[in-house]
Structure 1
């Protein structure tokens, strides 16, 4: 294929709610551009961007995919994104390498929950948005009420700047074409054809409505531009060429969000959509200069920078993942912000223009773990020209990489190219130490592009390898999955010794397990994790522990008196020494503490660690010959158990801070469900037609919440949660937990 300059490139993210037809529309666009001999279908896995086996099996997109169309001298890079709320973090990451977003709206349903969410993501990155009302071939387009209902929905959500630049042509044969409101020409199509339209006259029945819509478009384009307003008032319109230029500027500056109409399924109006992207979408080089970080301090400041970042807790631990304080070393360099701190370089923000004249630099925005090719790194050329076999420096990890077999991706298929210019999207396989979020480029011209913030996992499950062979393969397989999907976490719970995998929700984690089996031949059993309960005390108590054993020769003797007191929640364990007069020799006091602590970790009521208490040893006795550390350690254990009997022990459970986002009509049902889960609602906020509920809910009640939320909100709700604090378990619930713990002990003994 030919080489394209930045001015000939259009980078577009295709975003929208699930089942709005994003993957199908991309397949239709590729077919209309003659990039494929037949139009790919999602159902049979022939669509270019639906190549993942799990996505095909489940019928939904779960990860970003890239394809390109060569169209009349330009290259349109299309980034297909998931529309299911559980995978919206992927859609957000697609905003970074593109200059515009194609927002698909299902013409049968109007704007849906995820549509609004991805719209806000595009607004966050100041991306021009082009609204496409897709599936116009459906008899229920507009909810059966037609175009007016669809436009009212858009205006209510996003304002009057959502303006049609086309009108759909419908009749007994269904959706057969569009009227271009800029050129005032009609384009007619054969449904199920090649996507090539025939230009004709505007149908007489639509002429009046087309003229009115044309005037409305011209007025809106002219607003805010004095020279255009003068021309409009003088001539009553704006000449076509001036209108084209002004509309391009208005879209680029986010002053207008144009509305178009298509049917990906029947391939109607797709070539006209490509025409529109060519003329009106911002080019790759029209993007404003990218804010990047640039090293600005000397080596002498390195240690100070590292010390400060450490003091501020910059390491990306995830204590919010069900109380687990540390992840294993499985991340292997995937913690990007941590690696930046450890590089010891403070940074300042500078601007890097997207132009060939700047030093070569590229940003890795996605990684794909291909079972045949290996790791494939998807990147955007931030500046300069990148050539195949070039040696570049990984600015993030301080290593060098060779860009062998530089390619552009057509779904899974790699098309090799000799070079890529500033603004283009490319891919390269088998980089040794490069991961998503890394910046690479010319040595001596170091910059770093800030990646999209790493999302927090909201649900965790325990996984158990089925065989010893599966256990040996699990770590390596999950490492590859984590390279590909930054939402995935994998770690071991130090308390329960379970392997835990965390993700966006139940369906996400089930897909991970299926991918482990299908792609890496590693089978695991998925189950809910054990809730990390704790035990504590609510009263003071004193007790004596005396250990005396005589069996000939040297015996064992240890005697101590201790006092237990409750501490505030989260205080942990404290030890006090009030021994006076040498009733217990100084060298034996640590043994008493060790005995208490070891017994506390094994629990008293149900085998869960005892926390938030202070143990003070205040008296005791010893024997000159028979006393030793072991004897006082045993005495400490005995004293602790006796004291616990009187200290009013109770169970503590982890309470999660939960944020639920769903359309406002489901708020009542969600509140009722939270009350049934012993949740305490902390507040409600409205974001347009979306309601955000903040609540505190016990973890035990949230283990299966994802499926319930999907059911209650028809798949339109999402939630995230993190560890908040521990609280006392109500007596009725505690009885069930204790009974269950006793059954487990009896079964183990049998």
Structure 2
């Protein structure tokens, strides 16, 4: 629970584990302290020794921490046969920690249109493709319905169409600003020519190159993930919590009273919530708690976008 002290030193952790192992040798105690989330892991071990049971119970702490603080990421190392990160050094499980990576998205500011022709020999075979494509801020894939384009595209072979769609999918995975996936982009095919014997991979690659030019012409903006955040804290600490949320660019939706606590609902950028659980404990003397879930991707101000680009690229 928020506010509980888990351990203060390595020696204290070792003593706690030793006491836990001794107590787990009593079946009644083991049944009482084993949470439901640990039972599948223990069942997979068959008849685990007390030491193995203790390791599983201590590892469950990481799952609880992840539920409390989504900025904590745990990756299992299958080669080492481990199911959790190192919580104390004696487990000798390697863990690599890096800065939190925010899942930004990109959207187009305007629209663009480009024609790209490819004519080259690869492995002795001539590869010829010519495409004209455009894109704008709208969902979906479309085809130009003007008389000239409709006549050109009416003979489009299903195999070529599949290659074009694959190229569009690949292009949308990397935007022009930070290489983030693109959202709410409508791509339109205006013209398509392909030479006999041209491979599907060349068609897809040509579409990708063409769309990259289109995206550069249309320009892109960053969208950041924002979270629906709910904080429950004593009224005596609510002013400090609210002031901190304001500094984190939170939009306060509602403040309600629940028993002797205040419930603060807000929409807050995920990038501002790194390490929030520790800050909240400090602000509330360990008496507050919070939950959050993904709300949407939101356009950033020029200043915040500049900061995000510098954070990711370093300049």
Same fold (TM over 0.5): yes
Task: Provide the residue aligned with 2:17 in structure 1.
Answer: 53
Instruction: Measure the CA separation in 2 of the matches of 1:542 and 1:55.
Output: 70
Look up the SS of the partner of 2:249 in the other structure.
coil
Moved over 6 A (4+): 65-68
Instruction: Measure the CA separation in 1 of the matches of 2:66 and 2:310.
Output: 34
Task: Provide the residue aligned with 2:285 in structure 1.
Answer: 714
Instruction: Measure the CA separation in 1 of the matches of 2:32 and 2:48.
Output: 18
Aligned to 2:52, which of 374, 377, 392?
374
Look up the SS of the partner of 1:462 in the other structure.
coil
Instruction: Measure the CA separation in 2 of the matches of 1:54 and 1:674.
Output: 42
Q: CA deviation at 1:372?
A: 4.4
Aligned to 2:82, which of 462, 473, 476?
476
Q: Give the paired residue count.
A: 289
Are the aligned partners of 2:25 and 2:50 in contact in 1 as well (CA < 8 Å)? Answer: no
Instruction: Measure the CA separation in 2 of the matches of 1:615 and 1:691.
Output: 47
Q: 1:651 to 1:456 in 2, by over 3 A?
A: same
Instruction: Measure the CA separation in 2 of the matches of 1:660 and 1:66.
Output: 36
Q: CA deviation at 1:463?
A: 5.0
Aligned to 2:86, which of 513, 516, 521?
513
Which entry has the higher C-alpha Rg, 1 or 2?
1
Task: Provide the residue aligned with 1:540 in structure 2.
Answer: 111
Task: Provide the residue aligned with 1:728 in structure 2.
Answer: 299
The TM-score, its normalising length taken from structure 1, stands at 0.34
Task: Provide the residue aligned with 2:69 in structure 1.
Answer: 459
Look up the SS of the partner of 1:675 in the other structure.
helix
1:614 is aligned to 2:212: no
Task: Provide the residue aligned with 1:581 in structure 2.
Answer: 151
Look up the SS of the partner of 1:522 in the other structure.
coil
Q: CA offsets per residue over residues 425-476 of structure 1, 9 Å max, x none?
A: xxxxxxxxxxx9xxxxxxxxxxxxxxxxx998131323579xxxx7622x53
Are the aligned partners of 2:82 and 2:93 in contact in 1 as well (CA < 8 Å)? Answer: no
* Unaligned segments of structure 1, at least 5 residues: 1-14, 20-43, 57-64, 69-76, 82-89, 95-330, 336-363, 377-435, 437-453, 479-511, 568-572, 745-750
Instruction: Measure the CA separation in 1 of the matches of 2:260 and 2:231.
Output: 14
Aligned pairs for 1:375-390 (under 5 A) are 375=53
Look up the SS of the partner of 1:638 in the other structure.
helix
Q: 1:80 to 1:371 in 2, by over 3 A?
A: closer
1:683 is aligned to 2:257: no
Look up the SS of the partner of 1:631 in the other structure.
helix
Are the aligned partners of 1:545 and 1:637 in contact in 2 as well (CA < 8 Å)? Answer: no
Are the aligned partners of 1:681 and 1:694 in contact in 2 as well (CA < 8 Å)? Answer: yes
Task: Provide the residue aligned with 2:8 in structure 1.
Answer: none
Q: 1:560 to 1:333 in 2, by over 3 A?
A: farther
Are the aligned partners of 1:528 and 1:703 in contact in 2 as well (CA < 8 Å)? Answer: no
Q: CA deviation at 1:627?
A: 3.7
Q: CA offsets per residue over residues 249-308 of structure 1, 9 Å max, x none?
A: xxxxxxxxxxxxxxxxxxxxxxxxxxxxxxxxxxxxxxxxxxxxxxxxxxxxxxxxxxxx
Q: 1:728 to 1:698 in 2, by over 3 A?
A: same
Aligned to 2:165, which of 589, 593, 596?
593
* Unaligned segments of structure 2, at least 5 residues: 6-10, 55-59
Task: Provide the residue aligned with 1:645 in structure 2.
Answer: 216
Q: 1:608 to 1:370 in 2, by over 3 A?
A: same
Cα root mean square deviation, aligned? 4.3
Q: CA offsets per residue over residues 547-569 of structure 1, 9 Å max, x none?
A: 222479532211111221223xx
Q: CA deviation at 1:614?
A: 1.7
Q: CA deviation at 1:701?
A: 0.6
Aligned pairs for 1:399-548 (under 5 A) are 457-460=67-70, 461-463=72-74, 472-473=79-80, 476-478=82-84, 513-515=86-88, 517-518=89-90, 520-548=91-119
Q: 1:694 to 1:371 in 2, by over 3 A?
A: farther
Q: 1:54 to 1:589 in 2, by over 3 A?
A: farther
Q: 1:645 to 1:54 in 2, by over 3 A?
A: farther
Q: 1:616 to 1:529 in 2, by over 3 A?
A: same
1:669 is aligned to 2:275: no
Higher helix share: 2
Aligned pairs for 1:62-101 (under 5 A) are none
Task: Provide the residue aligned with 1:193 in structure 2.
Answer: none
